[in-house]
């Protein structure tokens, strides 16, 4: 039996993508009253409980308009992110800034815009979709931006505890979505990740580790760096986009 989201109003950023779509679908299946499916170019949804919402998380004005429209939200899913092909820390600074503008600053802007709305609904929940790339130390803007957002998620949890806002970090490795199709790497299904994420919401979790490689990696983070990072990088060397 799936755990209920009865009576909750959910907003999902990046709702058009493979993972975002699952967040919308499973919220409905678990009894959400309304789901705002937010994207730069919103798609049509057949279900009357889904309200398409135009939202560009890199545009502060777009975020303000979305927050003014979605004042009934009590569960925010920060899912939108980019992972450009050829991403490298040694690449053009403008591209690194574009990645951070979405994955870090954009996500944080959305969270901050909805903090007072969540407070008005008893605290509510923020769930930030992160990545094990935050822990592995890849030489990509995506990895570094997710590391920054992992730290910010922990900071938000501390900052918002007084208003009773649940802040969850969802960490996972490679998910089987169109965004990850160029990588030949073991992947977990989007449906499984979202099911575990919503279980975490219902359970009051602070962190959700959504696949076995992520759980194994978390258990190894206390290892000496001289042991951990060479081992991880050796394991990853054979997987190239």
> pLDDT tens digits for 87-122?
899 989 999 999 999 999 999 999 999 999 999 999
- H or E segment and range at residue 75: strand 75-78
On whether residue 4 sits in a domain, the answer given is no
Q: Which whole-number Å values give the CA distances from 214 to 38, 86, 146, in the listed order? A: 28, 24, 14
| pTM over 0.75, yes/no | yes
Note down the domain range covering 88.
Answer: 9-236
- 215, with CB counted inside 10 A (0-12, 13-18, 19+), is exposed
Q: How many domains, in total, are found in the chain? A: 1
Model confidence over 210-220: pLDDT tens digits? Answer: 999 999 999 99
H or E segment at 95?
helix 93-100
Nearest-angstrom CA–CA distance, 234 and 237: 5
Planar angle of CA 105, 111, 114, nearest 5 degrees: 140
User: The domain that contains 106 carries what CATH number?
Assistant: 3.40.50.720
CA triplet 153, 158, 162: central angle to 5 degrees? 130
How many other C-beta atoms are found inside a 10 Å radius of the C-beta of residue 151? Answer: 13
d(CA 73, CA 204): 18
Residue 14: name the closest of 77, 71, 69 by CA.
Answer: 77
Are 142 and 132 spatial neighbours (Cβ–Cβ below 8 Å)? no
Q: What is the pLDDT of residues 145-184, one digit of tens each?
A: 999 999 999 999 999 999 999 999 999 987 876 665 555 6
Residue 241 inside a domain? The answer is no
Would you say residue 203 lies in a domain? Answer: yes
Query: Got the DSSP string for 53-68?
Result: EE--TT-HHHHHHHHH
Domain assignment present for 2 = no
pLDDT of residue 185: 65
């Amino acid at each position: 039996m799936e755990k209920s989201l009865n009576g909750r109003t959910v907003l999902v950023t990046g709702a058009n993508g493979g993972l975002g779509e699952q967040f919308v679908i499973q919220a409905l299946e678990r009894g959400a009253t309304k789901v705002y499916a937010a994207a730069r170019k919103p798609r049509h949804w057949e279900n009357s409980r889904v309200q398409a919402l135009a939202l560009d998380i890199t545009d502060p004005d777009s975020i303000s308009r979305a927050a003014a429209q979605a004042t009934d939200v009590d569960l925010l899913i920060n899912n939108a992110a980019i992972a450009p092909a050829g991403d490298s820390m040694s690449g053009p600074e403008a591209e690194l800034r574009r990645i951070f503008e979405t994955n870090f600053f954009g996500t944080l802007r959305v969270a901050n815009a909805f903090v007072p709305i969540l407070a008005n609904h008893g605290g509510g929940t923020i769930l930030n979709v992160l990545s094990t790339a935050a822990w592995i130390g890849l030489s990509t803007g995506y990895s570094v931006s997710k590391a920054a957002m992992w730290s910010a998620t922990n900071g938000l949890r501390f900052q918002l505890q007084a208003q009773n806002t649940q802040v969850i970090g969802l960490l996972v490795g490679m998910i089987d979505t169109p965004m990850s199709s160029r990588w030949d790497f073991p992947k977990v299904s989007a449906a499984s990740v979202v099911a575990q994420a919503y279980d975490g919401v219902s359970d009051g979790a602070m962190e959700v580790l959504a696949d076995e490689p992520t759980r194994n990696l978390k258990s190894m983070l206390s290892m000496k760096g001289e042991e951990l990072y060479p081992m991880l990088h050796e394991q990853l060397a054979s997987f190239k986009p």
